[in-house]
Chain A
Amino acid sequence: MSLSRRQFIVGGVTASGGLLLGIPLQNPRAAAHQDLQSIEESIEAIGIDATGPGQLGYFITINPDNTVVIGSNQPEIGQGIRTTLPMLVAEELEVDFASVSVKQMPLGIVRTSSGMQWRYGGQGVGGSTGLTGNWEFMRQVGARARLMLQQAAASLWEAQLDDVYSEGGHVKHKDGRILAYGELVTAAAKLPVPEDAPTLKPVSAFRIAGHGQKTIDALDIVTGRARYGLDTDVPGMKYAMIERSPWHDGTVVSFDATQARKVPGVIDVFEIKGPEPGAPYLILASGVAVVAESTWAAMQGRAALEIEWSHGSYPQEDTAAFDAQCETLLAGDGQVVRDDGDFDSAIATAGRVVEATYSVPYVSHAPLEPQNCFAHVDKDKCRIIVPTQMPAGASRAVAAATGLDRMAIEVELTRIGGGFGRRLTADYAAEAAMVSRQSGFPVKLVWSREDDIRHDFYRPAGHHHLKAGLNQEGVPVAWTQRLASASKYYRRAEVSDDKLWEAELYTDDFPANMIEHFRLEWFNVNSAVPRGSWRAPAHTANAFAIQSFIDEIAFHSGQDPLDLRLNMLGEPREIDYANHGGPTFNPGRLAKLLRFVAERSDYRARRASPKAGRGIGLACHFTFGGYSAHAIEVSVNHQGDLAIDKIVAAIDCGYAVNPNAVEAQVQGATIDGLSTALNLKITVKDGKIVQSNFNDYPLLKLAQVPTAFESHILNWDETPTGVGEIPIPTVAPALANAIFHATGKRIRRLPIADQLKT
């Protein structure tokens, strides 16, 4: 087999990750093929979108005035990736960050003889991997470009490469000669791309990273100029809305569009077919689409539809029955997914046994920008403009919806009004493509808030039964967690029934590997509610149950909850961790965070001299490679009104590339955790989702956030972890533990809502 040179250059991804300036370029030394020769192509010769005035590969453009435009290949959902990744490029490129602006790159995929490959490196943000997956790559992009600019200067000066260096967007010679990057970039672009990236700087030498940088798009945001998916405006574009089945897997029996078509501005009305019951979701529901000249006309037209629905696969589903089903299942035997030692014997002989059951509801993602997508299916090609966390997923969804070849589908990305995991799934892109194809128009499909709350891939609900046997010192020696839940892996083609639990229980989560007799058991609950990944997925439920239960054990055995945690965590050491964020974790790093938040919140003093109606609680958790701890102080008055008085949050994310963004994520994730623990639940009645908008799905307001709010970044080392999800799981248990300390009432069911009211 012989690859053409062009295929070879744009399509290869190397074993050594040899991405040059963002151009996936096979490293000849790593290549198995005999016909692959050493690459001597210049960027200019490569062409495609790697070249242009001032351009050095896909990611870097240097303007004549020496300002720099850096491409961002990842979706921006508010995590700050459009600031953080360009910081890494700028760090190695040796330019001032103030001279940098950022452009959003589209999806880049290339079909090669060995399948689809990324053109601009992997694209997608989920699992807190946006930074970790690009940490090396982006620095290499900057470093290679810097070297080429230095080579260009050395060549012009007839100087030795060793005698030149880069500083502040210039190449300088030891003898004082100086040239701006903007003067060198054209010559640099003609040079061969360096095969090996120069040695990257140690973090100790960083000038941009490791120092707080402000959000690069902030001016566009505060002036209203930033554009989100919902702001897409393409000439000739129509507006579309879909009325979707309120019953899961319900179908359109019949519909009458007579009144809808009379609404001024309504152009077309037609049916959209949803998934077969039990089949993987391409879109969430069957429905009727209305295409119109404006958003308002589409809304009015939709409101005038008369539709008869079939009632779907589980028309009698309701939340009370779901809870009863969980309890019934937990009374029997489930699927044992981890079983260390001899739990049954150990629990039978334990001096003291503690048990409790906790429950979490379904919750919705509710990003403030509802789902939307622009699609223009034009004969044999398609243009998509979409706010998505997974642009390649959108491409696949549109291909599946239209039958078009993926290379005929262009996917452009916008700034995104929140993700939280909702935009990992591109059902709305498939819908938009279906509507455009059927209507023949370029369309912007818009969802209302009600659409968004009622048609989501919800965070799974479940009941957690925990039971521990303690030794004489009150330390657990036998432990089980038995979870009855509706797995988010439901209806995924690639997941067999015996693997559904893998989305629900993480077998190495604390206190696994620290207790000799340890068992995890899972029970499959029947539910037709669609579910998916919600910021820090099952960690939110598991950490709530486990970190609450630790406090219950401490209470029943007369120990302080902090002391019990520290005792169980033990000395710093690496423990196996097979799940995402592994391969190991260090409980010593968690212990350090716990001690820190305890100290900052005067935990010991508040425990030693408790005040009526006031309480303090702690929690800690490891997830996605990062560590989190929270101390939360609350007051609860005689009427049961809860006030959050103080929050101390600490994160250990390895190396904080942008400490300013890390702080923002810690604050935001903490508030997300509070909002969800306090008030948020999705319930089902008669097979339909009950909640519909922010009146009955009440996100936290500013008033509930304490002014005493500290965020700390601890334990810096040399490699970053993700950040966006790590601080969430510890919030609900720290809050519940504080409430117990204040009132003696143990919260075992989320949300807290009015459970404290007297």
Chain B
Amino acid sequence: MQKFRVNGTAVNFSGDSQTPLLYVLRDNLKLYGTRFGCGIGACGACTVHIDGQAQRSCITPVANVSGADVTTIEGLSENGEHPVQQAWLEIDVPQCGYCQAGQIMAATDLLKRIPAPTDQDIQDNMTNLCRCGTYVRIRKAIHLAAQRMHNKSVADNGATS
């Protein structure tokens, strides 16, 4: 029995402990925002946060997340309010949209580690594939989100001082 939390809710999974987390999220928990693209950790469509870090759930056996906190795109915000999602909407990034939840989870992780990324930082860290080729807008949206998050943190700090 694997016990962990997904988007704050306790989950018990009694199936094969080698089942990749991706299929537990999709088939068992019906959280379809996390997507299958390759099954070998190459495309990143299945990216989720495990204890706050971006991981590829298609190559993460559910045994590995025992006791962990998993966040999927559905848990990132109630209704798309996260600044990364807002930037994605403003720049209108998606085409087919299939990879975008994974892209957003990867970008959120990047901005947590590097709050003001350069183009070089973005290209070094954003390795998720987009078959439609939305990369031009993904890059713009990450810069926009970084700016918004920076402004917010400045504003928040101002309010407390």
Contacts and interface: CB of A to CB of B under 8 A. Distances in A.
A494 B149 CA distance: 59
A79 B132 CA distance: 9
B19 A296 contact: yes
B134 A219 contact: no
Given A296-B19, A694-B38, A667 B94 contact: no
B64 interface: no
Interface stretch (A363-371, A373-381, A537-545, A741-749): A363-371
Contact of A368 (B124, B130, B135): B130
Contacts of B151: none
A703 B45 contact: no
B144 to A, nearest CB: 13
Residue from A224, A227, A294, A667 whose CB has the most chain B CB atoms within 10 Å = A224
A673 B160 CA distance: 51
B62 to A, nearest CB: 10
B20 interface: yes
Interface residues of B, number: 61
A419 B35 CA distance: 17
Contact of B132 (A230, A418, A448): A418
Interface in A65-100: 76-80
A675 B34 CA distance: 25
Interface stretch (A139-147, A210-218, A613-621): A210-218
A599 B95 CA distance: 30
Contact of A702 (B38, B97, B122): B122
A230 B39 CA distance: 14
Contacts of A370: 36-37
Interface in A182-234: 214-215, 217-219, 221-228, 230-231, 233
Interface string B43-74: 10100000000000000000000000000111
B4 interface: no
Given A78-B96, A226-B97, A296-B19, A418 B88 contact: no
A402 interface: no
A664 B92 contact: yes
A426 to B, nearest CB: 18
B40 A695 contact: yes
B80 interface: yes
B27 A705 contact: no
Interface string B86-112: 001100111111111100100000000
B11 interface: no
Interface in B11-34: 15-16, 19-20, 23, 26-28, 30-34
Contacts of A703: 123-124, 126-127
A709 interface: yes
Contacts of A366: 131
Nearest to B89: A218
Contact of B95 (A225, A233, A300, A668): A668
A736 B126 CA distance: 27
Contact of B129 (A77, A230, A699): A699
A664 B39 contact: no
B148 interface: no
A239 B33 CA distance: 19
B27 A295 contact: yes
A233 to B, nearest CB: 6
A222 B100 contact: yes
A556 B27 CA distance: 61
Contacts of A217: 94, 97
Contacts of B85: 222-223
Interface in A437-463: 446, 448-450
Given A449-B37, A694-B38, A295 B26 contact: yes
Main secondary structure, interface of A, reads loop
A700 B35 contact: no
Contacts of B32: 224, 227-228, 230-231, 233
Q: Is the interface of B mostly helix, strand, loop or mixed?
A: loop
A660 B45 contact: no
Nearest to A224: B33
A669 B74 CA distance: 30
Contact of B136 (A78, A667, A699): A667
Nearest to B101: A224
A703 B30 CA distance: 33
A77 B100 CA distance: 14
A572 interface: no
Nearest to B24: A296
Contacts of A225: 33, 74
A106 B37 CA distance: 26
A99 B123 CA distance: 38
Given A230-B36, A296-B23, A368-B45, A667 B137 contact: yes
A671 interface: yes
A296 B79 contact: no
A419 B131 CA distance: 10
A218 B129 contact: no
Given A78-B95, A218-B89, A703-B123, A294 B80 contact: no
Given A80-B95, A296-B20, A694-B43, A221 B100 contact: yes
Of B26, B37, B79, which is in contact with the most chain A CB atoms at under 10 Å from its CB?
B37
Contact of B30 (A80, A214, A233, A264): A233
Q: Chain A CB within 10 Å — which of B36, B94, B104, B133 has the most? A: B133
A664 B89 contact: no
A705 B134 CA distance: 10
B96 A223 contact: no
Contacts of B93: 218, 222
B43 A222 contact: no
B50 to A, nearest CB: 17
Interface centre among A222, A223, A294, A300 (most CB of B within 10 A): A222
A693 interface: yes
B34 A228 contact: no
Given A218-B89, A418-B96, A694-B38, A224 B133 contact: no
A369 B45 CA distance: 9
B3 interface: no
A707 B73 CA distance: 27
B42 interface: yes
Interface in A607-653: none
Contacts of B28: 294
A56 B3 CA distance: 51
B146 interface: no
Contact of A671 (B80, B119, B133): B133
A369 B98 CA distance: 7
Given A218-B94, A294-B23, A223 B33 contact: yes
B8 to A, nearest CB: 16
Interface string A279-305: 000000000000000111000100000
A223 B92 contact: no
Contacts of A266: none
A239 B119 CA distance: 42
Interface string A655-695: 00000100011011111100100000000000000000111
Max count, chain B CB within 10 A of own CB: residue among A223, A231, A449, A664: A223
Nearest to B141: A222
**Best-buried of B23, B79, B89, B96 by chain A (most CB within 10 Å):** B96
Contact of B131 (A264, A300, A418): A418
B5 interface: no
A415 interface: yes
B92 A660 contact: yes
A370 B89 CA distance: 25
Contacts of B96: 76-78, 367-369, 415-419
17 contacts: A219-B89, A222-B80, A230-B35, A294-B19, A295-B36, A296-B16, A368-B37, A368-B98, A368-B132, A370-B36, A417-B99, A418-B98, A419-B96, A448-B39, A702-B128, A703-B126, A707-B139
Given A700-B135, A709-B136, 11 more contacts: A78-B96, A78-B97, A215-B95, A218-B89, A221-B97, A224-B32, A368-B99, A370-B37, A416-B96, A448-B39, A693-B38
